[in-house]
Amino acid sequence: MVWEAIARRLPHIVLPPPSIVLVRLAQDLLSGKLVVALLGSLEALVLGLALTIVIGVPLGFALGRNRTLAEMFDPVLNALYAIPPVAFVPFLVIWFGLHLPARIALVFLMSVFEVTVAVSVGAREVNPRLIDVGRSFGARGFELTRKVVFPAALPFVFAGVRIGLVRAINGTITAELFFAAINLGAIMNEDATRFDTAGLLTVIVLLALLGLAAQAAFARLEARIVPWHLRPAA
């Protein structure tokens, strides 16, 4: 409401009112322009996130269950985490060029730390009594990890991946703007050169909705897979 009221007084180039943005969003979705771009963007998102899960989750478990490893690499992880991912962009250009591999790499970099840290906290916090029970039933090593530690830490894995997912969406659009402009990033660039603020806001709103929808969908999935753990509302 405040936005609508303020925006009606300003010229539309500066800040278009939400009514215009919503109409535009519906138009562009129906015409397929945004849908095509969105599907294109999802490619880097899905591949990057998959890479994050494949690397971040086992790494998190290793750090969470092994104190020596944790003490050795916690400072390194924290230090890397403190670097803004976008600062890696020139580096990624040198290594991966400007196209899909670079985008995947940025998505990966932006999401992997969150997932690793969350999973390692989860694996560390597993109730020792559960592990004792497993031991007394003769579970050892890998079996213990698979049957006791993994299910017990699963809620943390989900929490980590949920945050990672939002960060990955973030990384996707960042990559499309900072490397060769493509998909949604290209639409934003075009809109920007045409002073089309409504178009820009349309993409931003779409991305925000995508993030919220992904989070909600993920919460559902979590409720189905780990019904024993009721996560307190964030």
User: What angle do the packed helices 33-65 and 183-193 form, to 10 degrees?
Assistant: 130
| Contact stretch for another protein (CB under 8 A) within 49-57, 92-100, 127-135, 217-225 | 92-100
H helices, E strands: number in the chain: 11, 0
When binding is defined by CB under 8 A, the residue of 52, 120, 174, 183 that contacts another protein is 174
Which residue lies nearer to another protein by CB, 148 or 159?
159
Cβ(182)–Cβ(40) under 8 Å?
A: yes
**Coil, helix or strand at residue 139:** coil
What is the C-alpha to C-alpha distance for residues 164 and 147, in angstroms, rounded to an integer?
Answer: 25
Would you count residue 73 as binding another protein (CB under 8 A)? yes
What is the C-alpha to C-alpha distance for residues 172 and 164, in angstroms, rounded to an integer?
Answer: 12
Closest CA to 54 of 175, 167, 157: 157
Cβ(93)–Cβ(179) under 8 Å?
A: yes
Would you give the DSSP letter of residue 233? P
When binding is defined by CB under 8 A, the residue of 61, 108, 113, 178 that contacts another protein is 178
Which residue lies nearer to another protein by CB, 57 or 207?
207
Would you count residue 197 as binding another protein (CB under 8 A)? yes
User: What x-and-dash track marks residues 203-222 binding another protein by CB under 8 A?
Assistant: xx--xx--xx--x-------
Would you count residue 76 as binding another protein (CB under 8 A)? yes
Which residue lies nearer to another protein by CB, 148 or 207?
207
CB of 27 to another protein, least distance (A): 19
When binding is defined by CB under 8 A, the residue of 80, 100, 131, 154 that contacts another protein is 80
Cβ(108)–Cβ(147) under 8 Å?
A: no
Based on the number of CB atoms within 10 Å of its own CB, is 186 exposed (0-12), middle (13-18) or buried (19 or more)?
middle
Would you count residue 89 as binding another protein (CB under 8 A)? yes
Q: Which residues bind another protein (CB under 8 A)?
A: 13-15, 68, 71-76, 78-80, 82-91, 93-95, 166, 169-170, 173-174, 177-178, 188-189, 191-192, 195, 197, 200-201, 203-204, 207-208, 211-212, 215
